[in-house]
Chain A
Amino acid sequence: MAVETTSRSVPAAADGADSAAAGRGRGPGGKSGGSRGGKGAGALRRAAARHWYAWTMVAPVVLVIGVIIGYPLVRGVYLSLTNADEANVERTIGVNHIPATYEFTGLENYTEILGDSVFWDRLGWTAVWTAGCVGFTFGLGLVLAVMLNRQVRGRSFYRIAMIVPWGIPAFVSVFAWKMLFNEKSGLLNQVLDGGGIDAVPWLGDPTWAKLAVIAVNVWLGVPFMIVAMLGALQGIPGELYEAAEMDGAGPWQRFRNITLPGVRTVSSTVVLLSTIWTFNMFPVIYLLTRGGPEDSTEILVTYAFRLSFINSPRDFATSAAWGVLILVLLSLFTVVYRRALRRQGEVW
């Protein structure tokens, strides 16, 4: 079995897409490559002879990714450079087939989006939303995981109870919350009313609505954090704590100097995952507030969706451009995040 290591350096995140194209070209061609002669083909033939089974094994996935992710991606980028909308894309009405009539417009969509305050407003709120959600989710998750990691009676009950929100489809939970948040007769306001407090317009006021969507998303995200951090905590050897206690370290010192470093690797991964998920979190906002009131809770992803599927006429080109911008932002974030980790000596 070929287990020799190639000494190729890690390619940067950005060129992953074109390397995939190269890999796809090589995959199926690996077998036929052997029959070709020539000077350069010698190395290729040797490589093919050694690696053809690996290439065959990955071929289906490479093919599928190329067709249903690669092609739409390229097409999405192209669409973002046109003026495609509902009225001019290729479509079939009854038996009539109407060909596409949209035109290439270059970077017009992008200059328009970046010159408009809507994009920057949405970006600002998306940043607040992502930072708020990830911060609270991580903090709560870590605290609860530390508590669950102690020897405490009823531990398995607590653990199961806290994981419940993860096991229920998010859109179902969002509707449950929507019911609780109902302004006229929702349970939260009825309870407040019982205490003599005026009804809170949970989803009707921009500030409250923002807090409400963040709260629901934190509620949805904490279970994953708890489970992940619990796994990390259990990987820390107990002797470390015993030794620290012998040396007279207090609880806070033990937490700072043993627990936190011990969960760092897992933390860096889950924070990255959680950031990406939150940034792209569609159902919470779409189902809870529909982006309202007056766009105040609309994040980039829901706004892009609205442009092409809710607004009329549907503006496919601008929506595609938003999509591309979102992808660029996420890639930038990932690269910066990884670089920051690497500078701190993380080998992730």
Chain B
Amino acid sequence: MRSAPRTRGERGPLASFGLHAGLLTASLVALFPPLWLLVTSFKPRNESFSTALVKNFTLGNYEHVVADTYFLTWFGNSLIVVAGTTAVGVFIAATTGYAISRFRFPGMRPLMWVLLITQMFPMAVLIVPLYNTMARLGLLNQPVGLIITYLTVAVPFCAWMMKGFFDTIPVDIDESGRVDGLNPFGTFWRLVLPLARPGLAVTGFYTFVTAWAEVAYATAFMTGEENLTLAGGLQTFVNRYGSDWGSMTAAAVIIAVPAAVVFGFAQRHLVAGLTAGATKS
């Protein structure tokens, strides 16, 4: 191997420099906007746009947002909606994911297609009929209405993700269950589901993050300051009537932190789950 000037994996200094420069630039571009948001949130309100880093550190924006606005109500609304969506979505999707991962049954192909296709449904096609239905049922401005709406996105997605996770659990386990005299439900409930707990968690996390960040339905269905969720609430700080950038940044930071933490747990498994079903089937 010594005949070659450099072995595989080694680089000249110039290539090395280029590689690091490229990666560093990309990292900076990725990190800068959220970091600037964080920095701005600690500036006094009249200095929001100063180019300097924090000169007069203050928590005033946070105090203002928490104490003088509906922020905590919005936070609570979002939490209810998102937790409800995640719980129901994951719960009812788990058995379906298992069934399409393990069994071949009439109607399976069409069902898989429906699960895939409904994931790409534009909200534009469902939002008007859902809005009218919710209005008729008196569910506008109610968290329940938004939970039901989000299930249109969450259920197909969760079922598909769960299928991917069940695919990774060896079929031998099911067979050993059958040998021990368990019926398919028992096998699922006692043997496979406990093994799929990481999958359940990741699916749940991701549903959580998606619902936490949803804008269109939340904007259309929830009106009146005390009914808003976070996506609608954040818009009230900066709109055509006036801009309170200080409060916006503080609220944004409080919104982003839980999502980022949850995302940190889930991201490692995410892409595998998203692309597995498509590449394997």
Query: Which residues does A use to contact B, with CB under 8 Å?
Result: 1-6, 8, 10-11, 13, 15-17, 19-20, 22-23, 26-27, 47, 51, 53-55, 57-58, 60-62, 64-65, 68-69, 71-73, 75-76, 79, 84, 89-92, 140, 143-144, 147-148, 150-154, 157-158, 161-173, 175-180, 182, 185-187, 190-191, 219, 222-224, 227-228, 231, 241-242, 245, 265-266, 269-270, 273, 276, 279-280, 282-283, 286-287, 300-301, 304-305, 308-309, 316, 319-320, 322-324, 326-327, 330-331, 334, 348
Set B22, B34, B99, B115: member contacting A173, Cβ < 8 A: B34
Q: At the interface, yes or no: B168 with Cβ under 8 Å from chain A?
A: no
**Contact indicator B30/A227 (Cβ below 8 Å):** no
Which residues 95-128 in B have Cβ within 8 Å of A in the complex? 95-96, 98-100, 102-111, 113-115, 117-118, 120-128
Chain A interface mostly: helix
| A150 surroundings in chain B (CB, below 8 A) | 9, 11, 19
The distance from the CB of A250 to the nearest CB of chain B, in whole angstroms, is 13
Could you name 29 residue pairs across A and B whose Cβ atoms are closer than 8 Å? A1-B175, A16-B114, A19-B110, A19-B113, A23-B114, A51-B103, A54-B108, A57-B95, A57-B99, A57-B185, A60-B95, A61-B155, A62-B111, A68-B130, A68-B151, A76-B126, A76-B129, A152-B16, A164-B30, A169-B231, A228-B275, A241-B8, A242-B8, A283-B231, A301-B124, A308-B131, A316-B131, A320-B125, A327-B125
**Contact indicator A19/B107 (Cβ below 8 Å):** yes
| A180 surroundings in chain B (CB, below 8 A) | 33, 36
Set B8, B115, B220, B235: member contacting A245, Cβ < 8 A: B8
- Answer whether A182 and B49 are a contact pair too, CB < 8 Å, given A168-B256, A326-B125: yes
| A62 surroundings in chain B (CB, below 8 A) | 96, 111
Q: At the interface, yes or no: B92 with Cβ under 8 Å from chain A?
A: yes
Interface size class of B (residues with CB under 8 A): 35 or more
| A178 surroundings in chain B (CB, below 8 A) | 238
- 1/0 per residue, CB under 8 A from A, across B55-86: the answer is 00000000000000000000000000000000
Most buried by A among B49, B108, B110, B184: B110
| B105 surroundings in chain A (CB, below 8 A) | 2, 6, 51, 54-55
Q: A286 to B23, alpha carbons, bound, how many Å?
A: 31
**Contact indicator B278/A47 (Cβ below 8 Å):** no
Set B29, B104, B122: member contacting A330, Cβ < 8 A: B122
Q: At the interface, yes or no: B195 with Cβ under 8 Å from chain A?
A: no
| A270 surroundings in chain B (CB, below 8 A) | 275
**Contact indicator A26/B107 (Cβ below 8 Å):** yes
| A15 surroundings in chain B (CB, below 8 A) | 110
Chain B interface mostly: helix
**Contact indicator A334/B120 (Cβ below 8 Å):** yes
**Contact indicator A1/B103 (Cβ below 8 Å):** yes
> Assuming A90-B132, A187-B49, what are 17 further A-B pairs, CB within 8 angstroms?
A1-B184, A19-B107, A26-B106, A54-B105, A68-B151, A152-B23, A162-B27, A168-B256, A170-B213, A182-B49, A227-B270, A231-B271, A245-B8, A283-B213, A287-B215, A320-B128, A322-B124
- Answer whether A58 and B111 are a contact pair too, CB < 8 Å, given A269-B279, A326-B125: yes
The distance from the CB of B207 to the nearest CB of chain A, in whole angstroms, is 14
**Contact indicator A187/B36 (Cβ below 8 Å):** yes
| A185 surroundings in chain B (CB, below 8 A) | 49
**Contact indicator A305/B122 (Cβ below 8 Å):** no
Q: A171 to B218, alpha carbons, bound, how many Å?
A: 12
**Contact indicator A273/B129 (Cβ below 8 Å):** no
| B113 surroundings in chain A (CB, below 8 A) | 11, 13, 16, 19
Q: A168 to B260, alpha carbons, bound, how many Å?
A: 5
- 1/0 per residue, CB under 8 A from A, across B1-40: the answer is 0000000110100001001101110110111011011001
**Contact indicator A60/B23 (Cβ below 8 Å):** no
Query: Which residues does B use to contact A, with CB under 8 Å?
Result: 8-9, 11, 16, 19-20, 22-24, 26-27, 29-31, 33-34, 36-37, 40, 48-49, 51, 92-93, 95-96, 98-100, 102-111, 113-115, 117-118, 120-133, 135-136, 138, 148-149, 151-152, 155-156, 159, 171, 174-175, 178, 183-185, 188, 209, 212-213, 215-216, 219-220, 231, 234-235, 238, 245, 248-249, 252, 255-256, 259-260, 263-264, 267, 270-272, 274-275, 278-279
- Answer whether A323 and B126 are a contact pair too, CB < 8 Å, given A53-B184, A61-B92, A168-B259: yes
CB-CB nearest in chain A for B133: A72
- Answer whether A147 and B19 are a contact pair too, CB < 8 Å, given A172-B255, A348-B279: yes
**Contact indicator B213/A61 (Cβ below 8 Å):** no
The distance from the CB of A19 to the nearest CB of chain B, in whole angstroms, is 3
CB-CB nearest in chain B for A269: B278
**Contact indicator A319/B92 (Cβ below 8 Å):** no
The distance from the CB of B244 to the nearest CB of chain A, in whole angstroms, is 12
Set A140, A154, A167, A224: member contacting B259, Cβ < 8 A: A167
- Answer whether A173 and B96 are a contact pair too, CB < 8 Å, given A168-B260, A241-B8: no
The distance from the CB of B208 to the nearest CB of chain A, in whole angstroms, is 11
Q: A144 to B234, alpha carbons, bound, how many Å?
A: 32
| B92 surroundings in chain A (CB, below 8 A) | 60-61, 64
| A157 surroundings in chain B (CB, below 8 A) | 27
Q: A300 to B122, alpha carbons, bound, how many Å?
A: 10
| A5 surroundings in chain B (CB, below 8 A) | 104
- Answer whether A147 and B23 are a contact pair too, CB < 8 Å, given A19-B110, A64-B92, A169-B256: yes
Most buried by B among A15, A22, A241, A305: A305
| B11 surroundings in chain A (CB, below 8 A) | 150
Q: A320 to B126, alpha carbons, bound, how many Å?
A: 8
**Contact indicator B248/A79 (Cβ below 8 Å):** no
